[in-house]
Amino acid sequence: MEPLNPVAIPQTGAGRRMCVVGASGKLGRYMVRHALDRGYEVVGVCREQSVPKLDDFADRITVIGGATNDRAVIARAVESCDAVLTVLVPWGVRDYSSGTAQAVMDYAKPGARLVFSCGWHITRDGEDKYSKRFKAMVAVAAKVMRFLRVVDIDDQVEACRRIFASDTRWTVVRGSDLEEGPSEGLPVWSRHVGDPVLASNLTRRTDFALFMVEAVTDDALVREAPAIVGRRTASALAHADGPA
Ligand SMILES: NC(=O)c1ccc[n+]([C@@H]2O[C@H](COP(=O)([O-])OP(=O)(O)OC[C@H]3O[C@@H](n4cnc5c(N)ncnc54)[C@H](OP(=O)(O)O)[C@@H]3O)[C@@H](O)[C@H]2O)c1
């Protein structure tokens, strides 16, 4: 399988083990690819019915099938991993997101890098500035999805509250709207939504995954909640000069 990025990629993961929780999804599969390209040994966790989605990686990664909020599944998957990357989607109304995050924090080895994904709607310090349109969209989506018992956004908020309060070596990566397409390189980030650098509100999904994987070796991101945007977007090109 060809690497996502054809130029020589530094083997920053050589001799290190990474667990990707939610490996079969769109973001998860990109994370697996980036991790393999960097020499990590990869363990992927996904629902039993989604294991075949990882068939093309079958001879290169270890796949553990099961619910990501099943504590026994997570305990087995994260054992001796140096890094755990988690797709934090709040499926259903039975604490899927917070259960997954809590299990990862409880069972990852001490000192492991923990990187979680979510959207811009998560705020760490309340200093994010959202447009009226964004706030209305999140509020409506939260109500409708919870009513339909499909997604519980409040549980993702709870998951992140626990992560922010934890003394693990976490990073919460907050994604903008996403699109498919070839990589534009590592996204740029800011501590706060509303910063002009983020105004374009668009990131290639492969680059969201790249940011998650590269965060593992970036100590500047420990206990940060970077909000990201594609590095070739208009707002990044106009304003990017480091985190704000
Ligand atoms: N989409 C966006 O525009 C957007 C924007 C900002 C941030 N994000 C963040 O990006 C991450 C994932 O985004 P994505 O759009 O690329 O989706 P994705 O990677 O396809 O992720 C969906 C994940 O949820 C799992 N899943 C699907 N249905 C499920 C169910 N009923 N019960 C349990 N698990 C289920 C999928 O696993 P299976 O393979 O088993 O179905 C997969 O691991 C999330 O953390 C999200 O907050 C997304």
| pLDDT recorded at residue 5 | 61
Q: How far is CA 98 from CA 51, 69, 91, 116, in A?
A: 23, 8, 10, 11
| 3-state SS class at 91 | strand
Ligand 1, atom nearest to 156 Cα: 47
221 CB under 6 A from ligand 1?
no
pTM: 0.94
Ligand 1, atom nearest to 22 Cα: 43
| pLDDT recorded at residue 244 | 47
Closest to 34 in 3D by CA, of 51, 11, 50: 11
| pLDDT recorded at residue 4 | 65
| Cβ burial 146-172 (10 Å sphere, 16+ → b, else e) | beeeebbbebbbbbbeebeebebbbbb
CA of 27 to the centre of ligand 1 (A): 7
CA distance 148 to 140: 12
119 CB under 6 A from ligand 1?
yes
| pLDDT recorded at residue 142 | 86
66 phi and psi, to 5 degrees? 160, 170
Is the domain defined by 17-239 classed in CATH 3.40.50.720?
yes
CA of 117 to the centre of ligand 1 (A): 10
| 3-state SS class at 118 | strand
Q: What is the mean pLDDT of each run of 10 residues along the chain (244 residues)?
A: 73 97 97 98 97 96 94 97 93 86 98 97 96 91 82 91 98 98 98 98 98 98 98 96 57
End-to-end alpha-carbon separation of the chain, Å?
38
